[in-house]
């Protein structure tokens, strides 16, 4: 009698186990049908441990200002903007990749910009050799995703100011920034921003001697934006 009860109990437990498996299968199928696989693919946490062929992480594009086109500003002592931009850009990419972000570094007029759809595009430049100080961040003058663009600008502005100590010069933003060519070339659904990291004159100590601080500020701003997007927020998510 005890054996029969044990068999019935085992059969009941097995059916429950199968039912749970079926339910989990249905839930997982529904999750992936609703875009869960795409969300999983963009997990920064998983991307740190799994190969990019499995989990790619969120996708970001960085433009190293003037790269592949011209030198940008050149100071009297030979300091060249394009080289400063490229150095900072590569440092930003390195920081982001260690945080599970997939990063592409593009030239100024890179053909890959055409129709580019990523979670954010950030173009990195420095300002002229004059003896002034401060940084600028701007997004497209005309955009169909104003909230996302504004969020990216806000995150970059706050993070860059905190990491570098430079003042944000909103009144110095020019049409060359708000009408930046790359904004017109990428997908209209790609949030974009251009940052002038400081003046090669007044901010040389930062840009030439401590570019890692500039890179940390930009990377922190991008991570702030990605976290806010993931959380469905329209305000910056503070970075620790």
- Give the model's pLDDT for residue 48: 57
Domain count, the chain: 2
Q: Does 39 fall in a domain?
A: no
Same domain flag for 152 and 185 = yes
- Give the model's pLDDT for residue 129: 97
DSSP state of 188: T
3-state secondary structure of 156: helix
- Give the model's pLDDT for residue 37: 46
Q: How far is CA 216 from CA 79, 97, 110, 116, in A?
A: 22, 13, 25, 25
Same domain flag for 57 and 25 = no
Same domain flag for 122 and 186 = yes
How many alpha carbons lie under 13 Å from residue 54 in its C-beta half-sphere? Answer: 8
- 197: containing domain: 52-230
With the CA atoms of 85, 90, 95 and 98 taken in that order, what torsion angle do they form, in degrees rounded to the nearest 10? 160
Q: Report whether 12 contacts 5 (CB < 8 A).
A: no
- Give the model's pLDDT for residue 23: 61
Same domain flag for 26 and 121 = no
Cα(152)–Cα(234) distance, integer angstroms: 10
For the chain, which residues score pLDDT lower than 70? 1-3, 6, 9, 23-57, 233-240
The C-alpha R_g of the chain, in whole angstroms, comes to 24
Q: How far is CA 40 from the centre of its chain?
A: 17
- Give the model's pLDDT for residue 52: 54
Same domain flag for 58 and 117 = yes
Q: Does 235 fall in a domain?
A: no
Q: Report whether 131 contacts 211 (CB < 8 A).
A: no
Same domain flag for 85 and 169 = yes
- Give the model's pLDDT for residue 18: 77
193 sits in which H/E element: strand 192-199
DSSP 22-83: HHHHHHHHHHHHTTHHHHHHT-HHHHTTS-TTT----EEEEEETTTTT----B-TT--BHHH
Question: Whole-prediction pTM value?
Answer: 0.80
* Sign, CA torsion 43/47/53/56: positive
Same domain flag for 60 and 153 = yes
Same domain flag for 122 and 155 = yes
β-strand pairing of 192-199 with 120-127: parallel
Cα(210)–Cα(124) distance, integer angstroms: 16
Q: Does 175 fall in a domain?
A: yes
DSSP state of 111: G
Same domain flag for 8 and 107 = no
Q: Does 45 fall in a domain?
A: no
Same domain flag for 59 and 27 = no
Same domain flag for 114 and 74 = yes
Q: Does 217 fall in a domain?
A: yes
Tell me the pLDDT tens digit for each residue of 107-165: 999 999 999 999 999 999 999 999 999 999 999 999 999 999 999 999 999 999 999 99
- Give the model's pLDDT for residue 221: 98
Angle at the Cα of 160 (from 224 to 61), degrees rounded to 5? 60
Same domain flag for 97 and 139 = yes
């Amino acid at each position: 009698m005890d054996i029969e009860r044990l068999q019935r109990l085992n059969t009941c437990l097995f059916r429950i186990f199968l039912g749970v498996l079926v339910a989990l299968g249905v839930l997982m199928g529904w999750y992936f049908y609703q875009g869960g696989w795409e969300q999983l693919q963009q997990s920064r946490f998983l991307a740190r441990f799994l190969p990019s062929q499995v989990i790619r992480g969120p996708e970001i594009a960085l433009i190293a200002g003037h790269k592949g086109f011209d030198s940008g500003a050149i100071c009297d002592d030979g300091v060249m903007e394009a080289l400063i931009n490229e150095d900072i850009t590569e440092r930003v990419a390195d920081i982001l990749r260690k945080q599970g972000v997939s990063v592409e570094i593009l030239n100024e007029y890179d053909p890959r910009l055409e129709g580019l759809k990523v979670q954010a595009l950030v173009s990195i430049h420095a300002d002229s050799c004059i003896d002034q100080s401060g940084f600028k961040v701007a997004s497209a003058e005309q955009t169909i995703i104003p909230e996302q663009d504004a969020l990216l600008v806000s995150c970059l502005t706050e993070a860059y100011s905190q990491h570098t100590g430079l003042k944000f010069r909103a009144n110095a933003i020019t049409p060359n920034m708000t009408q930046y060519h790359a904004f017109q070339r990428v997908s209209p659904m790609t949030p974009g921003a251009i940052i002038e990291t400081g003046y090669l004159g007044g901010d040389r100590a930062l840009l030439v001697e401590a570019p890692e601080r500039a890179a940390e500020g930009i990377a922190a701003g991008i991570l702030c934006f990605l976290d806010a997007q993931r959380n469905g927020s329209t305000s910056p998510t503070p970075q620790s």
